[in-house]
Amino acid sequence: MTDEKNLHDEAEEIRAETAADAPELAEHDHLAELHKQLDDANAKALYAAAELQNARRRMDKELADTRSFATAGFARDILTVKDHLERAVAHVPASAREGETNSFIEGIEATLRELDAVLSRNGVERIAAKGLPLDPHKHQAMVEIPTGDAEPGTVVEEMQAGYELRGRLLRPALVGVAKAG
């Protein structure tokens, strides 16, 4: 029985020591859990800050684009007026350039020059076409023209000028493209 009592006493001692160490182990586990939670919270905060910064950048870019291209519809409409004025001046006979009508025609040409200056100041630029290879992002091919003077796929005729607004296509140039004769 003494052996049994000794074993019982030893077991009690081990239980007492383990119980004494248990709060330290529990405290250590609790501290580790708190560190993990803190790390998770920091990661989430950094992610949220980065997402907020990206959203702010996107909003700023969209606002700048809206300001830059808000006049696109108006510019497109003005280009139609410019086209009509250019056609009118192009169809004036040489005989009309002499005498009293010449000053009227010069006035229309001055108006066209001023219209070009206003469009240019507002970021509207004419797209180069004639003599260049067809660029489907800037030119719209209307006809193929058989010719031996130009490489196939080269713009040989411009039917309507194309324009860009600050580098963005406003209206494609309507062109005739060379094909093998």
Residues of the domain holding 44: 1-70
How far is Cα 85 from Cα 105, in angstroms, rounded to an integer? 10
**Last residue within a domain, chosen from 102, 122, 142:** 122
Q: Check whether residue 18 and residue 44 sit in a common domain.
A: yes
Burial class for 172, CB neighbours closer than 10 Å (0-12, 13-18, 19+): buried
Q: Check whether residue 88 and residue 136 sit in a common domain.
A: no
Please list the residues that pair with 29 across neighbouring strands.
Answer: none
Q: Check whether residue 3 and residue 40 sit in a common domain.
A: yes
Count up the domains in the chain and report the number: 3
Q: In what order do the strands lie in the sheet with 139-147?
A: 139-147, 173-180, 155-160
pLDDT of residue 57: 95
User: Model confidence over 40-86: pLDDT tens digits?
Assistant: 999 999 999 999 999 999 999 999 888 878 888 899 999 999 999 99
User: Hey, is 106 helix, strand or coil?
Assistant: helix
Q: Indicate the Cα dihedral angle 163, 164, 169, 175, nearest 10°.
A: 30
pLDDT of residue 69: 80
How far is Cα 149 from Cα 56, in angstroms, rounded to an integer? 54
pLDDT of residue 154: 93
Q: How many whole angstroms from its chain centre is CA 113?
A: 31
Q: Check whether residue 138 and residue 85 sit in a common domain.
A: no
Percent of the chain predicted with pLDDT > 90: 59
**The model's pTM:** 0.64
The answer to whether residue 146 scores a pLDDT higher than 80 is yes
Q: List the CATH number of the domain containing 164.
A: 2.30.22.10
The answer to whether residue 37 scores a pLDDT higher than 80 is yes
Q: Check whether residue 65 and residue 77 sit in a common domain.
A: no
Q: How far is CA 51 from CA 40, 55, 59, 109, in A?
A: 16, 6, 12, 54
Q: How far is CA 67 from CA 7, 111, 117, in A?
A: 88, 27, 20
Q: Check whether residue 28 and residue 60 sit in a common domain.
A: yes
Nearest residue to 138 via CA among 179, 168, 176: 168
Q: Check whether residue 180 and residue 159 sit in a common domain.
A: yes
The answer to whether residue 126 scores a pLDDT higher than 90 is yes
